[in-house]
Homo-oligomer: A and B are copies of this chain.
Amino acid sequence: MATIKDIAKRAGVSVTTVSRALNGYSDVNEQTRKKIMAVAKELNYSPNTLARGLVMNKSNTLGLLVSGMSKESVKDNFTYLVLAGINQYAGETDYDIVLFSTNSTKQREKTYSQLCRERRVDGAIIQGIRTDDPYLHEVIESDIPCVLIDISVESDTVGYVTTDNIMGAKKAVQHLVELGHRDIAMINGHDFAFVSQKRLEGYKLGLKIAGIPFRSDWVVKGFFEEAEAEKAAWNLLENHPEITAIFCASDLMAFGAMSAAKKRGLRVPEDLSIVGYDDILLASYSNPPLTTIAQDVSRLGYHASKLLVEMLEGRAESHNVILDTALVNRSSTAKRRPLK
């Protein structure tokens, strides 16, 4: 593979000149530049980014730490959409994406920051990692610039992008309240997801605004899984038959709740209203189609990489971006039945 040395030799100049010509410096004679360009093309030259990265101490790569990039997550497509957004932005820049496979068992040997440091990525985007992951804090506390998705931590080198989860959850509750519901339960994810904490806050806020007392035993965990949520919903409905609506912190969990309702002989939405969160593709295919809080996940990815690059280039005005959500009103919610 041709190097600048080869070009220099062939063009009869020094490597310095070649380097400068190729990088578009102005202090190169137009004649020599032309010549050098021609030779470079002739030799089918490609710059060696490894060598450049070594000397410049900059690799022009963004590390991507994702967890849960598995076959199973096709249902919610979250990881994929984030990636698509990142990829879209990266395509507009000179950065390439290095994917670190953190979901395998053997990766436990290497910490996230280890991975980033070895590859000398300029920055990292972190997604899908639980807040109790010890390696998460290690990378946050390292000096590697990074942007977190859906984890609101901020510092000199750390930024984040997320959606407004409090308002999102509030919207869901508000929608139910407007339909006349007052006995509204919640199926949340788990304690180690920031979004769960925020959505719980939003749920509480929604209740408060409506003057409905909060009951902690009406909030159960579904761990973002359909089957878990189904169990949780079953118990909820068994123990508290007065419940007429459930707000679920993810669409998948809403599907679980729907199944539980059906198995208990409750009709959705006539007997039980259900609101989901995410607006995944399947939300419009369920029976009944799911009313949910929509978030634009690929924008999340897009803005994550955009923010990171801006941070790297020292032109980030703020270290966080909060995206909006929207209520999508389908058919899993209805007016509360008149009380008997």
**Contact between B98 and A69, CB atoms less than 8 A apart:** no
User: A84: shortest Cβ distance to chain B, in Å?
Assistant: 5
A87 contact set on B, CB distance < 8 A: 69, 99, 101, 103
Q: Which of A21-69 contact B (CB under 8 A)?
A: 46-51, 53-54, 59, 61, 64, 69
Tell me what chain A mostly uses at the interface: helix, strand, loop, or mixed.
helix
For residue A291, CB closer than 8 A to chain B, the reply is: no
A47 contact set on B, CB distance < 8 A: 118
For residue A267, CB closer than 8 A to chain B, the reply is: no
A59 to B120, CA, bound (A): 12
Known: A54-B51, A117-B46. A88 touches B101 (CB 8 A): yes
Q: Which residue of B lies closest to A99 (CB)?
A: B97
Q: Which of A109-138 contact B (CB under 8 A)?
A: 114-115, 117-120
A77 to B298, CA, bound (A): 14
A48 contact set on B, CB distance < 8 A: 54, 118, 120
A285 contact set on B, CB distance < 8 A: 282, 285
For residue A12, CB closer than 8 A to chain B, the reply is: no
For residue A107, CB closer than 8 A to chain B, the reply is: yes
For residue A106, CB closer than 8 A to chain B, the reply is: yes
A98 to B50, CA, bound (A): 13
A75 contact set on B, CB distance < 8 A: 281
A98 contact set on B, CB distance < 8 A: 61, 96-99
A281 contact set on B, CB distance < 8 A: 74-75, 282
**Contact between A91 and B84, CB atoms less than 8 A apart:** no
Partner of A97, one of B53, B92, B101, B106: B101
**Contact between B49 and A119, CB atoms less than 8 A apart:** yes
A301 to B185, CA, bound (A): 42
User: A258: shortest Cβ distance to chain B, in Å?
Assistant: 13
Q: Which residue of B lies closest to A77 (CB)?
A: B74
- Beyond A46-B114, A49-B118, 11 additional contacts (C-beta under 8 Å) are A47-B118, A61-B98, A74-B77, A74-B81, A75-B281, A77-B80, A90-B101, A91-B106, A96-B119, A97-B99, A98-B98
- Residues on A lying within 8 angstroms of B by beta carbon are 1, 46-51, 53-54, 59, 61, 64, 69-71, 73-75, 77, 79-81, 83-85, 87-88, 90-92, 96-104, 106-107, 114-115, 117-120, 281-282, 285, 298
